[in-house]
Structure 1
Amino acid sequence: MNGPDFAHYKILKRLGAGGMGEVYLAEDTKLNRKVALKFLPFGQSVGPEIKKRFLQEAQAAAALNHPNIVTIYEVGEFDGRSYISMEYVEGRSLKDVIVTEGLSMGQLLDFAVQVAEGLAKAHQACIVHCDIKSDNILINPDGRVKILDFGLAQLKGASGFDPGTSAGTPGYMSPEQIEGRELDLRTDIFSFGVVLYEMATSRLPFTGAHPVAVVYSILNEKPAPLSGFRPDIKSGFQAVVDRALAKNREERFGSAAELVAALRDCQKERVEPVKEKKERKSVAVLYFENLSQEADSDYFCAGMTEDIITDLSKIGNIRVASRNAVLPYKDKPIDVLELGKNLALDAILQGSFRKSNNRIRISAQLIDAHEGFNLWAERYDRELTEVFVLQEEIAKSIAAALKIKLSDQDEEKMALKYKNNLEAYDLYLKGRNYFYKYTKKDLLIAILMFEKALKIDPLYALAYAGLADSHVQMIDRYYETDKGILKKAEEAAQKALAIDPLCAEAYKSLGLIYYKEWRFRKAKEQFLKALELKPSFAAARSNLASTYIYLGDFERAEREYLAAYEEDPSLAFVLWLLARLYLSLNRFPEAENCLQRVVQSADQSSYMEIGYYLLSRTCFYQGEFEKALQYLQKYVEAEPDEPFGDSALASLYAALGQREKARAKIADTLKSAPWDEDIIENLILAHFFLGEKEKLYDWIHKGMAENKIAWIFLERNPLLESLRGEPEYQELLRDLKGKTLGEMP
Structure 2
Amino acid sequence: MTITVGTRLGRYEIRSKIGEGGMGEVYLALDTELGRTVAIKILPEAFVSDQQRLQRFIQEAKAASALNHPHILTIYEIGSVGASRFIATEFIDGDTLRQRIRDGSLLLNEILDIAIQAAGALVAAHEAGIIHRDIKPENIMVRRDGYMKLLDFGLAKLTGPPGSITDTEAPTKAMVNTGAGTVMGTAYYMSPEQAKGSNVDARTDLWSLGAVLYEMVTGHVPFAGETPTETISLILQREPAPLSRYVNEVPSELERIVSKTLTKNREERYQSARDLLIDLRNLKRKLEVDAEIDRTVPSEFRAATSTNAGQGPPPTASGAVAGMASTHASHAASSAEYIFSGIKQHKLTVAIAVLMLVVGGAGLGLYLHAPNTEVPIESIAVLPFQNRSTEPDSEYLSDGLAESLIYRLSQLPNLKVSPTSSVFRYKGKEVDPIKVGQELGVSAVLAGRIVQRGDNLTISAELVDVRYNKLLWGEQYDRKMSDLLATQREIAREIVDKLKLSVSGQEKGLAKHYTESNEAYQFYLKGRFYWNKRTEEAFQKALEYFQQAIESDPNFALAYSGLADTYNLLGAPDAGGSMAPNQAMPNAKAAALKAMEIDETLAEPHVS
TM-score (norm 2): 0.46
Structure with max Cα Rg: 1
Higher helix share: 1
- TM-score normalised by L of structure 1: 0.38
